[in-house]
Amino acid sequence: METAQQTFIFPLSVVENSEDCAHSAKTDHDLSPFKLEGTEESPVMHSQEDDLTGMEGLENTAKTAGENELCLPCKVCGDKSSGFHYGVMACEGCKGFFRRSIQKKIDYKCHFSGNCAIERINRNRCQHCRFKKCLAVGMSKESVRIGRYSKRVKQSNMDEIKRLTSKPETPAEREARERHEMEVYTLSQAVLQAHSMTCEYTKEKVEALLQQRDSILMRLNAGEDMNIPPTVDYSKWKPEERSSSKVFAWKVFCEAIMPCTQRVVEFAKCLPGFLTLHQEDQMTLLKQGFFEVWMIYLAPVMLTEERVILLGGDSLFSRDFLAKMETPDLWRHIFEFAAGMHQLQLSDMETALFAAITIMSSDRGGIKEPKQVEDLQEKFLECLRREITRREVKDNHLFAKLLMKMPLLRSTSTLQMETMLRFRMEFPEVTIPLLLAELNNINHEDAEDHFMLPLMSEVLGLNGNSRKRPHDIAERLPLTKITKEGGLFQPPKAVAGVPTQRSPSSSEPEDINMVVTMRTATT
């Protein structure tokens, strides 16, 4: 019997509750250009189905005496839960529904607004919204627990029981809580999407690059010159820009990091809420935060022991090359940060949210509306905190460890700016790329830059004459094509490896900033 190839289709906005819905299945003759390759019988899905079947019986369903007196409600439908299933307290019905949805890759569709209320009495009416609710509350195959409850989970459950007994949750409170959970989830997906489109060093790409590590280092040790990326055209440089090894190294470095710098700017523009900030605050946040995000982006490809940075292809920055820049303190701080990040083993979602938090820092000097920036940062902090709790291997101190990296990021960024200014003063004849110069508050004296354009305003589109840049993708959000690296509603940890996709027939969503603007659950 031929296996049907199916996808999950989700709406791209959080809207009001609606009436009952129906579902329909899509077969392999109804494929879209957005569909990912692979079928239900791929090796990955085989192992996932086997794992789900085998591990389900091992999940812990035991409860303490206190929990038996009052079982926690199912996080999905509110029915009496039977235990901790796929990462959350859930009833047998929702546990089985989630397992079947993943194994069979059923294509659910909501024929209404896409946000139907899921309760015990109507949970079977709209499978689409029920599955979306499962994802929103944190269910995933990776979150299966084997063995006894941990003390932390047990205490958390007892605290929730105490909360429920002391003050029953009203329908309005439950609706507000569920809406807030969905908004947090949706915001996380928007940040992940921005990261996937602007960062060249996602986890999958880094793993592929590191597989070439030994061969690259062997070629480097053999004396092969791999320090000049193909994006750097030094044939057009002025003679004075080749006058010394230091000048040459600095010039190569500045031009080599330009593509990534542009992508950092685009990442910021894609962040929900960023373009609603005061125009001067947008530029301030980028000027003071771009190098910090650059470090976050490049950290996975920094070989800290060898003091080498892999740039992809046949390009890298070697220890000898970096030494020619004569900035040992700067690179010592950068590699120290990278070593710390390697230990944390962040996912793409965690990296994306950490970068968003770094950009959206209200304590930057010169911010005109710090409260607005702080509110946005708080939303990203909540998303990161939620994502960390979903980890299969728990690290109770990971959130604190990440925040403790920020002082090192800040001091290194300041050192980079000071170093760039000293280089400019020592070699005023060297042309620095315009965007990099303005990000570092460097004034050009070259004739071609005599009338220094407000470049950041152009990049951000603040004056209505924004330049079209190769990496300027913010204006194209939402995408007309969802890439495999992460769709707007792909779970932070892809549920059983089944990425969710948009329906080709679905209408274009609203402005992404409007879609994911979060409301406080307590209001």
Judge whether 473 and 481 are in contact, CB under 8 Å.
no
More confident residue, 178 or 290: 290
Q: Please check whether residues 445 and 490 belong to one and the same domain.
A: no
d(CA 65, CA 68): 5
**Residue 232 in domain:** no
Query: What is the predicted pLDDT for the residue at 160?
Result: 60
Average pLDDT over residues 106-114: 83
Q: Please check whether residues 386 and 487 belong to one and the same domain.
A: no
Q: Please check whether residues 444 and 490 belong to one and the same domain.
A: no
Counting residues of the chain whose pLDDT is more than 70, the rounded percentage is 61
Q: Please check whether residues 400 and 513 belong to one and the same domain.
A: no
84-88, 217-221, 495-499: segment of lowest average pLDDT? 495-499
Q: Please check whether residues 64 and 156 belong to one and the same domain.
A: yes
Query: What is the predicted pLDDT for the residue at 460?
Result: 54
Query: What is the predicted pLDDT for the residue at 370?
Result: 93
d(CA 332, CA 334): 6
Q: Please check whether residues 10 and 51 belong to one and the same domain.
A: yes
**Residue 439 in domain:** yes
d(CA 304, CA 321): 15
User: Which CATH number is 417's domain given?
Assistant: 1.10.565.10
**Residue 471 in domain:** no
**Residue 126 in domain:** yes
Among 430, 450, 470, give the residue marking a domain's end. Answer: 450
Q: Please check whether residues 426 and 384 belong to one and the same domain.
A: yes
Query: What is the predicted pLDDT for the residue at 365?
Result: 87
Among 404, 433, 450, give the residue marking a domain's end. Answer: 450
Q: Please check whether residues 445 and 330 belong to one and the same domain.
A: yes
Nearest CA-CA partner of 486 in 188, 208, 271, 269: 188
User: Which CATH number is 122's domain given?
Assistant: 3.30.50.10
Neighbours of 362 (CB within 10 A): 17
Q: Is the pLDDT of residue 503 over 70?
A: no
Query: What is the predicted pLDDT for the residue at 157?
Result: 58
**Residue 212 in domain:** no
Query: What is the predicted pLDDT for the residue at 317?
Result: 86
Number of helices followed by number of strands (H, E) in the chain: 20, 5
Whether the bond between 478 and the residue before it is cis, its omega within 30 degrees of 0, is yes
Render the burial of 463-478: b for 16+ CB within 10 Å, e for the rest.
eeebeeeebbbbeebb
Identify the domain containing residue 365 by its residue range.
244-450
Q: Is the pLDDT of residue 367 over 50?
A: yes
**Residue 214 in domain:** no
Nearest CA-CA partner of 96 in 58, 56, 63: 56
Q: Are strands 302-303 and 308-312 parallel, antiparallel or unpaired?
A: antiparallel
Mean pLDDT taken over the chain:
71
Counting residues of the chain whose pLDDT is more than 90, the rounded percentage is 28
Q: Please check whether residues 369 and 495 belong to one and the same domain.
A: no
Q: Which of 24-33, 61-70, 342-351, 459-468 has the highest mean pLDDT?
A: 342-351
**Per residue in 333-343, pLDDT tens?**
999 999 999 99
Among 408, 426, 450, give the residue marking a domain's end. Answer: 450
Query: What is the predicted pLDDT for the residue at 26?
Result: 37
487 SS3 class: coil
Angle at 402 between CA 277 and CA 259, to 5 degrees: 60
| DSSP character at residue 480 | S
Q: Please check whether residues 274 and 413 belong to one and the same domain.
A: yes
The number of distinct structural domains making up the chain is 2
Query: What is the predicted pLDDT for the residue at 208?
Result: 85
**Residue 458 in domain:** no
**Residue 239 in domain:** no
Q: Please check whether residues 183 and 323 belong to one and the same domain.
A: no
- Residue 280 CB burial class (10 angstroms; 0-12, 13-18, ≥19): middle
Q: Please check whether residues 431 and 513 belong to one and the same domain.
A: no
Q: With bands split at pLDDT 50, 70 and 90, how would you rate the model's confidence at 89?
A: confident
**Per residue in 30-77, pLDDT tens?**
333 333 333 333 333 344 444 444 444 444 444 444 444 456 788 898
